Chain A
Amino acid sequence: MEVVLATAIGVLAASGVWLLLRPRTFQVLMGLSLLSYAVNLFIFSMGSLSIDQPPIVVPDVPHDLQHYTDPLPQALVLTAIVINFAMTALFLVVLLALRGLSGTDHVDGQEEE
């Protein structure tokens, strides 16, 4: 479980950084999205991984982290997803505006010579 999650985060983050360093705006956008997925999974993993355990207190079950999963990282991930979604949409608009103004999808608005 830990290995799978760690590998997933690593692959997503590495692909994200690689795409972020590319010269095309759409690649940068994809890179930022992949990076945000990696970050979201990372936050999630910080609450210690557990399977089949509720995040909300149930009667008759002792109140400790042996019997529950940490609800806080899940709440943080939810907030981060919403914010990131909005920012990605905004970036997409700016990307299209730059494409319209400069006629190229290079991040600097002009092709390299």
Chain B
Amino acid sequence: MIGWAKAAMPHLIVAPIVLPLATAALMLFASERRRRLRASLNVLSCAAALAVAIALLLVVDERGAAAVGVYLPANWPAPFGIVLALDRLSAMMLVVTGVIAFAAVVYSVARWDRAGVNFHPLFQLQLMGVNGAFLTVDVFNLFVFFEILLAASYGLLLHGSGASRVRAGLHYIAVNLFASSLFLVGVAVLYGAAGTLNLADFAARIPQVAAADRPLLHAGAAILAVAFLAKAAMWPLNFWLVPAYSAAGAPVAALFAILTKVGVYAILRIWTLFFGVDAGESAHFGGAALTWIGMASLAVASIGMLASHHPGRLAAWGVVISSATLVAAIGFARPSLTAGALFYLIGSTFALAALFLLVELIDRAREVEPKVPLDDVDPLPFSVEYIERPDSNLDEDESVLIGRTIPGALAFLGLAFIVCALMIAGMPPLSGFLGKFAMLSSALAPQPELASDPLSAPGIAALAMVVVLIGSGFLSLVGLSRAGIRYFWAPQERAAPRLRVIETLPIAALLALCALLTIRAEPVMRYAASTAQALHRPAAYVDAVLTARPVERQ
């Protein structure tokens, strides 16, 4: 596969954008009634996109730690034309997106794509926006890809209609439109201060910005960061997420698990390029703010997890926990901590996508106390009227529930739920724990600059990170196991659910990948470590983008 991929370089870099676009356009020629044709096109395209992403990852990995593939779509050199660049981080994110998209689309074919019109084209356009955001090096082009992925996500969120979806969708759209305005203001200020839109060119120019313009530059970067933080669902800009994600259809919510990661990716990419060690006076500007905002969101999300009954809302808070952990870890600007965060990103995104898919099956299978409203109003836990019946170890005939076999389908749901819970809470033995462990050991590792004064601001932040990370793992474990007990150990009248292979397979595959990530952790961790090294020393990336020459006309 590598030989084939190498032959197609550098044009293969643009494939993750062109392929979904072409597929979506092609689908529009088939009428909505030819659902099977559209569905098979979508599945094929997702499989092809995953194959392309894996090929790109292998090529980048083979070329060495600082490898960057550059593609000039309009054949104009940087900084005049738009540039696409593929480095280790982009390749990794493309693969994560590809895996989740493939799982979601296979799941959706079972029933969800019939719930409304144009599911498949919107799905592909969503992928185009996400992949484009991971590849572009131009900040305004990043805005355009953000808008593409948001426009598609509005359509997907409303897929299936219904009052709760439309209400959550209205809030989601309003918040995102406002965030897009901030994005534009930030871009405009940065352009005014540094006179470029190319991210690599920014990195080269920022050390030379005049002292008088530096506050303007910082203000622009901060406004831009607010837009990204809102998309990454950081507190206090995350109240839109839980209603929207828990209202969305299962495959849509699973795909949305990657959307907050796009915000995290944008922060990681732009912050390391703009304010890395080489940025002169601006070095590490805003790092402490990222750390503390991330930790505050982590605390809020853990409390939210504890206050939720429904697994859908638990999964939505899990999304916030995951991206908050990442943002907090990025802010330290320590390569070893970023490496742990990147490892954690892969596993937690897979587990969250699997949990969103699982929630729907659980909902369909279990008839949990109908008194608990599944909608926005989530009552506090332990309120008296919702407590189980006192004789809950007996079924409706008053015979004891001990010693009966659990139906196979229910056993699958239960086991899958346990795996998801362990991954999200970061408990051993799965890869969620390994990622958290890597972050914790890096946060506690002695730092040369802190040797004289361990209780300086960064030292305190590292200690707080340890406390918040362990605390959030504990609280999410409590929340998730409570939901598990309520849904799997409570007596119920309905017969065991019938699961369809096409719906269980994606979940099983995602969880198998989580297990694989645990067993084969070493190569993945090595990849994450060299990715983090390259991110925090962006000179090679900047150099590759700025020296890329257009192809001569024959």
Q: Which residues of A contact B (CB under 8 A)?
A: 20, 25, 28, 32, 35-36, 39, 42-43, 46, 72-73, 76, 79-80, 83-84, 86-87, 90-91, 94-95, 97-98, 101-102, 107-109
Contact = CB atoms under 8 A, between A and B. Distances in A.
A95 B173 CA distance: 10
B181 A39 contact: yes
B137 interface: no
The 6 closest A-B pairs by CB, nearest first: A46-B192, A43-B188, A46-B188, A109-B167, A101-B163, A39-B181
A41 B236 CA distance: 28
A91 B166 contact: no
Please tell me the size bucket of the interface on B: 20 to 34
Nearest to B197: A72
Contacts of A98: 163, 166-167, 170
A106 to B, nearest CB: 10
User: Which of B161, B171, B173 has the largest number of chain A CB atoms within 10 A?
Assistant: B173
Majority secondary structure, A binding face: helix
Contact of A101 (B147, B166, B187): B166
B22 interface: no
Contact of B181 (A28, A36, A76, A102): A36
Contact of A43 (B151, B174, B184): B184
Given A36-B181, A80-B184, A94-B158, A72 B166 contact: no
Contact of A91 (B144, B162, B174, B197): B174
A90 B181 contact: no
A32 B147 contact: no
Contacts of B140: 76, 79
A39 B178 CA distance: 11
Contact of B173 (A36, A46, A94): A94
A90 B189 CA distance: 28
B167 A102 contact: yes
A35 B191 CA distance: 20
B376 to A, nearest CB: 9
Given A35-B178, A43-B184, A83 B170 contact: no
Nearest to A16: B181
B177 interface: yes
